[in-house]
Amino acid sequence: MRVLFVYPKFPDTFWSFKHALRFINKRAAYPPLGILTVAAMLPGDWEKRLIDLNVAVLGDKDLEWADCVFIGAMAVQRSSVNQIISRCKEAGVKIVAGGPLFTSEHEEFGDVDHLVLNEAEVTLPLFLADLEKGRPKRLYTASDFADITQTPVPAWDLLDMKHYASMSIQFSRGCPFNCEFCNVTTLFGHRPRLKTAEQIIAELDVIYGLGWRGRIFFVDDNFIGNKRYLKTQLLPALIQWRKRKKGAPFNTEASINLADDPELMEMMVEAGFDTVFIGIETPDEESLAECNKKQNKNRDLALSVRLIQRAGLEVQGGFIVGFDNDTPTIFRRQAEFIQQNGIVTAMVGLLQAPTGTPLYERLKREGRLLGKMSGNNDGSTNIIPRMDPGVLREGYKALLEAIYSPKNYYKRVRIFLREYKKPKFDIPLDMHRLLALFRANIKLGIIGKERWQYWKIIFWALLRRPRVLPEAITFAIYGYHFRKVAGI
């Protein structure tokens, strides 16, 4: 059997870092970890190839070679998915599809031959058994969650690592919280399921053995879902691994209650983590209550952010406007919170309702849905808001301009760098970082409209905090990308 894995293209989004990647000659931010994991589950004697449309082109000869095409995707990749399906149908190639998009919206994809939904560890063996018998069904679903201690090391040999800015690894699935707008628990449940520390070290050794020394993203939706296991098993193992390895800084996603545990933060930094994405959502208590964001309520969110930053972890923040309780003052309040707390990487989106979430079901009952969500923070929404739609759109636009205009953005970078306690480990200087510096000096420091702010932050870092100069340059490049995406 000859299997062609095709990973759909991402649109130009906040997290694509498309405009920043050009500074370091990379084509994509992250590899298709899900597809690589599925590839490792297929029979060893099958021929396998990967086409990631974010770094390569799908040619007619690729489809001619394949007996079937496997597609995995998220909602934001929907447009590319439809194009791939059309190409496969024209070529007469069978399609096997899975992942969050198809699990949530499988009824929308009538041209897919086989839908292997939910977690592949559970449903893929059923499909393979039926395929061997010559009687594969069209739809495979499961209500059980996978035992991910049995998940194999992803098939990294299919990937050309040089095209990516970061590698990815997964430690856990599931989240103990139940935010109304989030589909993580719908897909993966409330009880965090964990890989063993031995599994994670084995996966890291494979990535490192292939020559990777750059950033590694732990893709868990909530890395700290099981703090006890982290403190007693995984983090001690990572700390020991870190003593033998250079480079490879880690980043991940976590809930705001990370700030309540100084020991955990200290261990994460010692293990090599320097960045966490946190869903802060909103400074408005009523809106937090509305969306059941219990872990963010009744706390000083600003202090929590500062505690995490002071521990040596950059806080990247997720924010939402358009809750039912939001008033037109929310745009100013969001901008002030982001600015005053030095949250450089602030992803702000309009509230959307993913299929199957409590929010989706509530709005469906209220007759307030407008089709499927885009999955992109592009100013679109699939709900009818309580706020006047025109006020919401204009307020959202003004909010993006407020936080990503060069003057405010570079000021926020300085606020963060003053607060940030940089970890002791450093990323080795390589050609990519030198290239980024050279291109930033030209693109931002000479050509860019932000050249005054750019040189101001560079000289400030050189004179006041030279150890954070790499971060200052990186944030300058990120800002360029964010303004491009926001249309500023």
* pLDDT recorded at residue 282: 98
Q: Say if residue 99 is in the same domain as residue 174.
A: no
Q: What is the pLDDT of residues 92-109, one digit of tens each?
A: 999 999 999 999 999 999
Domain limits for position 381: 165-419
Q: Does some domain include residue 77?
A: yes
Q: Say if residue 255 is in the same domain as residue 123.
A: no
- Picking from 371, 395, 419, the residue at the C-terminal end of a domain is 419
Report the C-alpha gap between 447 and 461 in whole angstroms.
21
Q: Does some domain include residue 22?
A: yes
* pLDDT recorded at residue 248: 84
Q: Say if residue 110 is in the same domain as residue 178.
A: no
Q: Does some domain include residue 102?
A: yes
- Picking from 140, 173, 193, the residue at the C-terminal end of a domain is 140
Q: Say if residue 86 is in the same domain as residue 186.
A: no
Alpha carbon distances (Å) from 264 to 62, 129, 226, 257, 431: 47, 44, 11, 11, 34
* pLDDT recorded at residue 376: 85
Q: Does some domain include residue 424?
A: no
* pLDDT recorded at residue 426: 62
What's the residue count for the chain? 488
* pLDDT recorded at residue 431: 79
**68 by DSSP, 3-state: which?**
strand
Q: Say if residue 320 is in the same domain as residue 461.
A: no
Compute the radius of gyration of the chain from its Cα atoms.
Answer: 22
Q: What is the CATH number of the domain that holds 328?
A: 3.20.20.70
Pairing state between β 2-7 and 215-218: unpaired
Q: Does some domain include residue 371?
A: yes
Q: Say if residue 31 is in the same domain as residue 180.
A: no
* pLDDT recorded at residue 199: 98
∠ Cα 185 188 190 (to 5°): 50
Per-residue pLDDT of the chain (488 residues; tens, 9 = 90+): 999 999 999 999 999 999 999 999 999 999 999 999 999 999 999 999 999 999 999 999 999 999 999 999 999 999 999 999 999 999 999 999 999 999 999 999 999 999 999 999 999 999 999 999 999 999 999 999 999 999 999 999 999 999 999 999 999 999 999 999 999 999 999 999 999 999 999 999 999 999 999 999 999 999 999 999 999 999 999 999 999 888 789 999 999 999 999 999 999 999 999 999 999 999 999 999 999 999 999 999 999 999 999 999 999 999 999 999 999 999 999 999 999 999 999 999 999 999 999 999 999 999 999 999 988 888 899 999 999 999 999 999 999 999 999 999 999 999 999 989 888 766 666 777 888 999 999 999 999 999 999 999 999 999 999 999 999 999 999 999 999 999 98
Q: What is the CATH number of the domain that holds 95?
A: 3.40.50.280
Count of domains forming the chain: 3
Take residue 149 and report the two structure tokens written for it: 């201690």
Q: Does some domain include residue 75?
A: yes
Q: Does some domain include residue 149?
A: no
Report the C-alpha gap between 441 and 468 in whole angstroms.
17
Take residue 175 and report the two structure tokens written for it: 């989240």
Provide the sign of the torsion angle of the four alpha carbons 204, 206, 208, 214, taken in this order: negative
Report CA dihedral (79, 82, 86, 91) to the nearest 10 degrees: 100
* pLDDT recorded at residue 379: 85
- Picking from 419, 444, 461, the residue at the C-terminal end of a domain is 419
Q: Say if residue 128 is in the same domain as residue 189.
A: no
Q: Does some domain include residue 58?
A: yes
What is the residue-averaged pLDDT of the chain? 96
Q: Say if residue 214 is in the same domain as residue 91.
A: no
Q: Say if residue 400 is in the same domain as residue 446.
A: no
What's the half-sphere exposure (Cβ side, CA atoms, 13 Å) at 267?
A: 19
Q: Say if residue 406 is in the same domain as residue 436.
A: no
Q: Say if residue 316 is in the same domain as residue 336.
A: yes
Q: Say if residue 270 is in the same domain as residue 385.
A: yes
* pLDDT recorded at residue 428: 63
478 Cβ neighbours under 8 A, 6+ residues apart: 17, 20, 344, 345
